[in-house]
Amino acid sequence: MAAGDFDVVILGGGMGGYPAAIRASQLGLKVALVEADKLGGTCLHIGCIPTKALLESSELYHRVSTRGTEFGVNADKVTFDYPRIATRRDAVVNQLYKGVQFLMKKNKIEVIAGSGRLRDKNTIAVGNTQVKAPHVIVATGSTVKALPGIDFDGEYIISSDHATLATKVPESICIIGAGAVGVEFATLYNQLGVKVILLEALDRLVPLEDEEVSKEMLGAFKKAGIDCRVGVRVRGAKKARDGVSVDTEQGEVWARQLMVAVGRAPRSKDIGLEQVGVTTQANGFIKVDEWMRTSVDTIHAIGDVVGGFLLAHAASHEGITAAEDIAGQQLAPMDQDLVTRCTYSHPQIASVGLTEKQARDKGLEVKVGKFPFTALGRAIIHGETAGFAKMVADAKTGRLLGAHVVGPNATELIAEPALTQLFQGDAWELGRNIHPHPTLSEAVMEAAMAVDGHAIHI
Ligand code: NAD
């Protein structure tokens, strides 16, 4: 392709790259999008979407089979059919995949299939084709990380990629890592009656979350029958007795399958970053500023490959920020403090901003408001009363610093405290917003009111 054909070329069409392409096109730029596999990337094909589709089936099965009678629904012989769960998962993904392909056409984005590599600071080579543009956005994402000496075989030792695409479930599974992936799959398997052993190296589940959230999760998981072991050091694993024997400092753990869920690594190798002078950190993530600019003036980078929170919605927002910067319309820089974190375990977890400890460690004087779902009408109706909403505010100014929800629909409830933080609002204002009754959103309101001791229902 000739020089000047495009205003911007984007390497990678996942949840960072394709929204960046759409936003750039909306701003009048001519866009090429290079994708080696499928538009939609990890999130759509082996991440957020298929895993949440699986969880929707497991939750439905679990709820009806274990709680049906309590709700007056006779459901004595409820069974599940995993191949059909997998078929529905694939149908959900395909529907959305078609939607993304349509959006590319609608926005007149030139999609170039193939594996691309930076040739110089304005050129991406895809096979023998050279795609040139004054601006480049790198959005190549990330891949699952393995533990040294424990190689994935896709059958006995699996990653989240294998687990997401599987068409059957094992009788028992050991999961290493109790981050987002670990607790979501622990939930999926537990709800389907699989024996789950969850091993976490640190001293609590979901260690990035507020400490009280971790404690609540441990209680809920134990109650659900998940064998949770924290502070466990894994030394190795090998195939044994038609399963996997995991060697830990605390002894042997055996399960039919082993899933390793210890994080993700950036896809920053072999794409020509070094040759064109793009600076990366020691762990391989590309260094960027708040406008997603790299060390090379023509190149932006977004999504998992730049680190921060490896979340689809963060990637999209970074893509939009980069596209606007390229178009000369700097609306708002990327603010990692405003990224909501959502985990679709049972109970769900969602948070934004600082944990209580992070706020105190920063030397801030904080006041905290907490409201349990046990005291909320909608939660009782719903039959889901485990968990709470917790607001962390600046004691001097009242400004909302962080919000943490563990419990029903937490992932839907977090958007409102996040908006309060975007508007630099106070906990008081969040509590004064009139919430519909009876809804789960009242937990957020009551927790915000509790910051000043004004909660009504506790
Ligand atoms: P993670 O970094 O969130 O969690 C990995 C966990 O493994 C950590 O708690 C860590 O302490 C533990 N660990 C590391 N080495 C260990 C060892 N040797 N033994 C025992 N435990 C060990 O990574 P993840 O859960 O794999 O997720 C990867 C990325 O994908 C994360 O950034 C995550 O936020 C994102 N993700 C998000 C969602 C969601 O938002 N719902 C879902 C899945 C993944």
For ligand 1, say whether the CB of 179 is within 6 Å of any of its atoms: yes
Residue 361 main-chain phi, psi, to 5 deg: -60, -25
- Each residue of 267-278: pLDDT tens digit? 999 999 999 999
> Does pLDDT of 116 surpass 90?
yes
Determine the atom of ligand 1 nearest the C-alpha atom of 261.
26
User: For residue 135, which of 297, 247, 280 has the smallest C-alpha distance?
Assistant: 297
> Does pLDDT of 315 surpass 50?
yes
Determine the atom of ligand 1 nearest the C-alpha atom of 310.
32
> Does pLDDT of 263 surpass 70?
yes
For ligand 1, say whether the CB of 310 is within 6 Å of any of its atoms: yes
Work out the percent of the chain whose per-residue pLDDT is above 70.
99
* Catalytic status, residue 300: no
Q: Angle CA(81)–CA(85)–CA(88) in degrees, nearest 5?
A: 140
- Each residue of 281-313: pLDDT tens digit? 999 999 999 999 999 999 999 999 999 999 999
The answer to whether 310 and 284 are in contact (CB under 8 A) is no
145 Cα: distance to centroid of ligand 1 (angstroms): 10
For ligand 1, say whether the CB of 308 is within 6 Å of any of its atoms: no
pLDDT at 75: 84
For ligand 1, say whether the CB of 324 is within 6 Å of any of its atoms: no
75 Cα: distance to centroid of ligand 1 (angstroms): 36
For a ligand 1 pocket test, name from 310, 342, 345, 352 the mutation site with the most ligand atoms within 8 angstroms of its C-beta: 310
**Local confidence band at 1 (pLDDT 50, 70, 90 cut-offs):** low
200 Cα: distance to centroid of ligand 1 (angstroms): 10
180 Cα: distance to centroid of ligand 1 (angstroms): 5
Measuring from atom 4 of ligand 1, which residue has the nearest CA? 179
- Each residue of 31-49: pLDDT tens digit? 999 999 999 999 999 999 9
Work out the percent of the chain whose per-residue pLDDT is above 90.
98
**Local confidence band at 4 (pLDDT 50, 70, 90 cut-offs):** low
- CATH number among 3.50.50.60, 3.40.309.10, 3.40.140.10, 3.40.50.300, domain 8-143+265-336: 3.50.50.60
CATH of domain 347-450: 3.30.390.30
As a whole number of angstroms, the distance between CA 362 and CA 63 comes to: 42
Give per-residue burial for 408-429: e unless 16+ CB within 10 Å, then b. Answer: bbbbebbebbbebbeeebbbbe
**Local confidence band at 76 (pLDDT 50, 70, 90 cut-offs):** confident
Question: Tokens at residue 402, please?
Answer: 């962080």
Q: Which of 317, 437, 454, 457 is catalytic?
A: 437
The structure's pTM equals 0.97
310 Cα: distance to centroid of ligand 1 (angstroms): 10
For a ligand 1 pocket test, name from 181, 198, 340, 412 the mutation site with the most ligand atoms within 8 angstroms of its C-beta: 181
> Does pLDDT of 233 surpass 50?
yes
282 Cα: distance to centroid of ligand 1 (angstroms): 19
**Local confidence band at 3 (pLDDT 50, 70, 90 cut-offs):** very low
As a whole number of angstroms, the distance between CA 338 and CA 321 comes to: 14
Q: Stretch 400-409: mean pLDDT, rounded?
A: 98
Which residue's entry shows tokens 């999609």?
Answer: 111
Name the residue type at position 328.
G
pLDDT at 5: 84
For ligand 1, say whether the CB of 311 is within 6 Å of any of its atoms: yes
The answer to whether 153 and 238 are in contact (CB under 8 A) is no
For ligand 1, say whether the CB of 440 is within 6 Å of any of its atoms: no
The answer to whether 138 and 301 are in contact (CB under 8 A) is yes
Determine the atom of ligand 1 nearest the C-alpha atom of 233.
19
- Each residue of 340-389: pLDDT tens digit? 999 999 999 999 999 999 999 999 999 999 999 999 999 999 999 999 99
As a whole number of angstroms, the distance between CA 300 and CA 330 comes to: 14
pLDDT at 307: 97
Give me the residue spans of the domains in the chain.
8-143+265-336, 157-261, 347-450
For ligand 1, say whether the CB of 236 is within 6 Å of any of its atoms: no
Fold of 157-261: FAD/NAD(P)-binding domain (3.50.50)
Q: What is the DSSP string of 240-275?
A: ETTEEEEEETTEEEEESEEEE---EEE--TTSSHHH
Determine the atom of ligand 1 nearest the C-alpha atom of 411.
41
Q: How does the average pLDDT of the chain come out, rounded?
A: 97
As a whole number of angstroms, the distance between CA 294 and CA 279 comes to: 7
- Whether 157-261 shares its CATH topology with 347-450 is answered no
Q: Tell me whether residue 81 is exposed, middle or buried, using C-beta atoms within 10 angstroms of its C-beta: 0 to 12, 13 to 18, 19 or more.
A: exposed
For ligand 1, say whether the CB of 45 is within 6 Å of any of its atoms: no
